[in-house]
Chain A
Amino acid sequence: MSERKGRSRFAWLLLLAAFAMVLAVACGGDDDDDTGGGGSVTYGKAGFKTVEIASGQPIKIGYSGPLSGDLKGIGEPIQKAVELAAKGKTIKGHNIQVVSKDDLCSADGGASAATQLLQEGVVAVVGPVCSGAVVAAQPQYEAAGVTHVSPSSTAHKPTYPDRGQVFQTFLRTTYSDDIQGPAQAKFAYKTLGAKTAYIVYDTDAYGSGLRDAFKAAYEKEGGKILGSEGYEKKQTDFKAVVTNIKNAKPDLVYFAGFYSEATPFIKQLRAEMKDVKFLAGDGVKNDEFIKGAGADAEGAYLSLPSPVYTGEAYKTFGDLFEKETGIKRDASPFVAEAYDAASIIIRALEKVAEEKDGKLLIDLKKLNEEIRKTEFDGASGKIKFDARGENVGGATPVSLFQVKNGAFEEIKQ
């Protein structure tokens, strides 16, 4: 009898502990916005080495991004652009080989792709494509001293890591959501005249980062956030969320995530609310979104943290890309950024690779410094990095679109 009593007391303790945890997590969820200035930057310790490449062996550059699964539509064109940049290039008689790893756009995928790429002996990496994967992979690349340039990770976290020290080996050729978020907020409040908004976000680094950036800027503009709800990737049941939105009656629904979930979400949203404005970022601006959501995608607003490319370099790249891969240049974002990221790496390699006793030596520290020094007029525009690895080259880095008659139409501002 006494034993039973003891057990039930234990059960109560467990339940109490569980509730305490739930509350702690619930309260602690929102206070991770650190908007520290870009001024002084302290780097962690990167494990730079010198890589030896025997004669006849290729120089390996890695690629990490989704190559299967729902987000293949983002990762595959980017991979093709990287391969295009490396195609036919040789450095002192060594070919350049792109080693691709599928990271499924996930955190664990990003970490395991990093392990595999480092084992393959890559000297630099384009990617990871997704911010969730970037955050998970950064420590490994930093420890190995392998510089990685993401063409598409836009989240705040990669350049403002949780533990203060900035990663020396991370750079990106796209623009941070610290730029995209405020641009979206301004567009929503001023141009669309939306005074209230409801946020639906992916709980990964990209979605929650974009949510924070948008929320802060939108409230500063004078807008009111009526609610904010997260989801995990692969969720298809958004009915309860839609009911909450319907109840809150916002002017605008802001979606921070990828097209794979935006598609079922907007179908369910439109079934209940025909007219509410819908705004999303680069993760949704993809032909796959229009293909999947069909008529329900009509009228949706989307932004891209890249300028509307006008330069001659973009035209040359676009023609080449379409000819070589058969993929439309604007079917999926970040292909020009990926081409540039790979080109920057190859240019730097050309400068730092040294021949010695019939071997090719690549000093990863010098390679990193060379890449950081880049000033480059690329397909995606001017590229120049600041101390955090942020691209500060472009002038108007956010463009906006609306879906009209089954296509993305640019909104002139």
Chain B
Amino acid sequence: MPKTLFEKIWDRHVVADLGGGFALVFVDRHVIPEITYNRFRELESKGLPLRHPELTFGVSDHTVPALWAALEKPDDRSNEFSRGMKAASLKYGFHHFDVDGPDQGISHIVAAEQGIALPGTTLACVDSHVCTVGALGGISWAFGGSEIVHVLATQTSILRKPKTMRISLEGAPAPGVTPKDLTLFTIGRVGAAGGLGCAVEFAGEAVRSMPMEGRFTLCNMAVELGASFATIAPDEAAFEYLKGRRFAPQGADWDAAIADWRELVSDPDAAFDRDVTIDVSGAAPQVTWGISPQDTIPIDGVVPDPADEPDVQKRRAMQAGLDHTGLRPGQKIEGTKIDFVFIGSCTNNRISDLREAAAVLRGRRIADGVTGWVVPGSLRIRAQAEEEGLARIFTEAGFNWGFPGCSMCGGQGNGFTERLKPGMRAVSTINRNLPGRQGPGSITHLASPPMAAAAAVAGRIADVRRLGG
């Protein structure tokens, strides 16, 4: 019986069939953000031990401050959440990538960077963007906070076996079009519920030729398709990325591992419940106009008219999007005045993202009246960006150069202070433009790092391809 890549990994991890399409699935790696440290108290109060400390990893990301300026004690980024997670990590003996160590960063960045996420493995995290690490050829899923205790106590999750869906991106992207643009382009076509309940495998020429870091961006936003899982068949790019990373297999183990991982592909005649092919060769840089990631248009496009939408619910949703963003049907999106630019989040704050944004900003200044933040994904990425001179380009352009954390994506950073003010309009490299995502009453336009940099320079939503010299 031919199997998809997802089914192969799933079958390897089923502990028990629970019936009705549900299974008890083993968690190879469990990543826990500091904001949920209280779940260890819950574990203790139930009188349960931590079943597999060696498979448990704490990360400080959701609440940590990104900018020194807002701190009471500028030499200490710790807070009650990080201290709570640290105490739990010492008590139970698991790794915690804390603000005082060299490897702190956003969960999904750290999981990849440290070789915690691996091909053929399962990884669980309370954060819905954990699908990011499926780009390495494993499967990963998210759940609500109380499920953390379930995983701590049992090292398993109760999951409904999803439908399978393949999204093949074919064609060569045009110059100036980044993986983020292809991601938004794809969501625009498949829709915010297009992958609902599915395990998505991204395939096709444009994915195979996409650098590893771009694949993380693509898989990061699979949840914005409604997908439960995202994965990409692991190949040389994935192996090269992982080789030598701290928790990845080493030496003879490495050879055994990649021999196994090379087998991790969907069988040629495997059937997917849904199979979608998208030609990306015509995709332009994208920007969103509404309040769903599916509300995306090319930068040289115009805001769509709800009156053209025959479906009443969709029409209302479009109108709600326009009501929130204050844009008019038929209006060009380019030229819309902005207040803020945020380059960061688990979607787009890897070194390649920072390089691409810095390339646009080199020798340029952020426009008057616009505030810009760059928040790298991990302390390692931050250090590398400083070594490569990128940090200097950002600060000379007038950007604030931050420390790693979720920060302005989700608006919980530093005690909910890292958020936009009501009415502010931002171009952000994050993954969600839902109302209030970056602060109550604020407006978010999703875009790629170079597009965000171009907007910062222009003070308006701008086409990075036409930014004058």
Same complex: no
Q: Which residues of B approach A to under 8 Å, CB–CB?
A: none
Hey, which bits of chain A sit against chain B, CB under 8 A? none
